[in-house]
Amino acid sequence: MNQLQGYEKIRQVRENEKKDAQLKFQEATAEFEKHASHLYDLLKKKEKIEESYKQSLSDKSQIETIKSYHQYLDFLMPTIVNVQKKADRARKYMDQVQEYVTEHYIEVKKIEKIINKKEQQYKQLEDKKDLMLMDDVSIRKYLEK
């Protein structure tokens, strides 16, 4: 039974590591979602500006209006590229942390499987001892008669 306590301590340590990994994953997911949402908003803005730009070209609007749309698009593109890179890095990190979580989950399952096997072995040993004791008691009672 002392052996089981050792395995139980190992399982507890692995379980704590798994929980820490899950917290890291949640943080990484939140960071990715933040960057992805920002990127989405920028792309929506770009889409609206492009639509307005095309509309102003077809309406033969003032040159200043067309120029301002074009300048805003030129300003927006580097920001979009930068946020895209941040989102990609955040996604990559999130995927790495997901693998880390999966590894720890597997480790916890392995330890739990070992503990279950040891418990079954211990139970079988106890059952065998009980049977031998009952046999011994039966033999003694028989011999007393």
Q: pLDDT of the chain along its 145 residues, tens only?
A: 677 788 889 999 999 999 999 999 999 999 999 999 999 999 999 999 999 888 887 777 688 888 888 899 999 999 999 999 999 999 999 999 999 999 999 999 999 999 999 999 999 999 999 999 998 888 888 888 7
Provide the whole-model pTM.
0.73
- Estimate to the nearest angstrom the gap between the alpha carbon of 37 and the chain centroid: 20
Alpha-carbon gap, residue 142 to 145, rounded angstroms: 6
Cβ neighbours for 97, distance < 8 A, ≥ 6 positions apart:
21, 24, 25, 28
Q: List the Cα angle 104/107/110 in 5-degree steps.
A: 155
Give residues with Cβ within 8 angstroms of 94, minimum separation 6: 25, 28, 29, 31, 32
pLDDT tens digits, residue range 87-111?
999 999 999 999 999 999 999 999 9
Where do we find the tokens 């908003």?
41
Buried/exposed 68-94: b ≥16 CB within 10 Å, e otherwise: ebeeeeeebeeebeebbebbeebbebb
Q: For the packed helices 63-144 and 2-59, what is the interaxial angle rounded to 10 degrees?
A: 160
Residue whose structure tokens are 């120029």: 67
What's the pLDDT at 116? Answer: 93
Query: Cα–Cα distance between 31 and 15 in angstroms, integer?
Result: 24
The proportion of the chain whose per-residue pLDDT surpasses 90, expressed as a percent, equals: 67
Confidence (pLDDT) at 107 = 93
Cα-atom radius of gyration of the chain, to the nearest Å? 33
Q: Which two tokens stand for residue 137?
A: 């008691």
